Amino acid sequence: MPYSHHSHSGQFCGHAKNTLEEVVQDAIAKGFHTFALTEHIPRPIEDFYPEEADSHTAESLAKLFDDFLVEAARLREAYAPRIKLLIGFESEWIRPSTHQIIQGIMERYTFDFFMGSIHHCHTIPIDFDRATYEKARDAAGGTDERLFEDYFDEQYGMLQALTPPVVGHFDLIRLLSDHRDADFKGMDGVWKRMQRNLEYIASYDGVLELNSAGLRKGLAEPYPCSPVCLAFLRMGGRFVMSDDSHGTDQIATNYPRLLQYIRKVGINDVFFVDKEAAPNDSRIAAGFSSITVDKLIRLPFWTTAQ
Closer to Zn ion by CB, 13 or 75: give it: 13
| Among 59-67, 109-117, 173-181, 266-274, the segment contacting Zn ion (CB under 5 A) | 109-117
Element holding 65 (H helix, E strand): helix 58-78
Distances from the Cα of 155 to the Cα of 179, 191, 213, 231, 236, angstroms: 19, 14, 19, 17, 20
Closer to Zn ion by CB, 18 or 117: give it: 117
Beta carbon of residue 116, minimum distance to Zn ion (angstroms, whole number)? 10
| Among 13-21, 112-120, 174-182, 220-228, the segment contacting Zn ion (CB under 5 A) | 112-120
Distances from the Cα of 264 to the Cα of 52, 210, 229, 293, angstroms: 40, 13, 11, 11
Is residue 117 part of the contact set for Zn ion (CB under 5 A)?
yes
Closer to Zn ion by CB, 223 or 261: give it: 223
Closest CA to 209 of 235, 170, 174: 170
List, in order, residues 6 or more apart from 112 with CB less than 8 Å away: 36, 86, 87, 88, 273, 275, 284, 285, 286
Beta carbon of residue 40, minimum distance to Zn ion (angstroms, whole number)? 7
Is 223:173 a contact under the CB 8 Å cutoff? no
Closer to Zn ion by CB, 90 or 274: give it: 90
Distance CA 95, CA 233 (A): 31
Closer to Zn ion by CB, 172 or 231: give it: 172
Instruction: Select the residue whose beta carbon is closest to Zn ion and give its number.
Output: 117
Sheet holding 269-274, edge to edge: 3-4, 34-40, 84-90, 115-116, 166-167, 207-211, 238-242, 269-274, 287-292
Beta carbon of residue 117, minimum distance to Zn ion (angstroms, whole number)? 4
Q: Applying CB under 5 A, what is the total number of residues that bind Zn ion?
A: 2
- In the shown chain, the binding pattern of residues 68 to 97 toward Zn ion, with x for contact by CB under 5 A and - for none, equals ----------------------x-------
Closer to Zn ion by CB, 117 or 250: give it: 117
Beta carbon of residue 64, minimum distance to Zn ion (angstroms, whole number)? 15
Beta carbon of residue 172, minimum distance to Zn ion (angstroms, whole number)? 7
| Among 49-57, 116-124, 136-144, 233-241, the segment contacting Zn ion (CB under 5 A) | 116-124
List, in order, residues 6 or more apart from 166 with CB less than 8 Å away: 5, 88, 113, 114, 115, 116, 206, 207, 208, 209, 240, 273
Is residue 250 part of the contact set for Zn ion (CB under 5 A)?
no
Beta carbon of residue 38, minimum distance to Zn ion (angstroms, whole number)? 7
User: Helix 188-203 and helix 226-234: axis angle, to 10°?
Assistant: 40
Beta carbon of residue 3, minimum distance to Zn ion (angstroms, whole number)? 16
Closer to Zn ion by CB, 92 or 296: give it: 92
Interacting residues toward Zn ion by CB under 5 A: 90, 117
